[in-house]
Chains A and B, each alone.
Chain A
């Protein structure tokens, strides 16, 4: 079972470069999420998609855009990377209601 797959695993960018983080899930979940994890700050929600065709801002959306391409895929784009976006990014999916989140293994991004 693949679960939630994120690519790439590691990435180094220079300030101002752009990139897209990819995420796909094979559990037929309706909801998908992007989080960033920084030391001492836990997990912070960037964007989420409650269902195919909808996206909403989370706590820290500035500097990011998302696309819910279909039910399986939810991508996160950095248009002009900044050093403050150095972080570990996690994609997750779930069913609505009392269901837990299923996480990918993360993308470790460094912006120099």
Chain B
């Protein structure tokens, strides 16, 4: 079956530090890959996505590249801000499969 494994948290960084959150997946076929972000007290919202191998998704300074050879979709940001403190979820979906598979989430705290 499909599965997503995320780097365990929590992760604590100082402002302007470099961020990497690892994500690897197992899936049949050609899934789409997503990063969602959840701010306190809110639902998840899409951060970025990639739909095929070697695609790079990017948004708000965050980037992730779909690596089929290593089945990975690691999230990176060059310089984090306090406002980036949130829970980050990696997820995959397969066309016509009807549902997404989520990782367990990684909590990021950025200190001033």
List A residues at the B interface (Cβ < 8 Å).
Answer: 4, 31, 33, 40-43, 45, 48, 50, 56, 58, 90, 92, 96-98, 100-106
Contact = CB atoms under 8 A, between A and B. Distances in A.
B102 A106 contact: no
B44 A103 contact: yes
Contact of B44 (A50, A56, A101): A101
Interface stretch (B11-19, B68-76, B77-85, B92-100): B92-100
A90 B99 contact: no
Interface of B: 32, 34, 36, 41-46, 49, 51, 89, 91, 93, 95-96, 98-100, 102-105
Contact of A98 (B89, B95, B105): B95
B45 A103 contact: yes
A101 B43 CA distance: 11
Given A31-B98, A40-B104, A42-B89, A100 B46 contact: yes
A33 B42 CA distance: 17
A67 B95 CA distance: 24
Contacts of A100: 34, 36, 46, 49
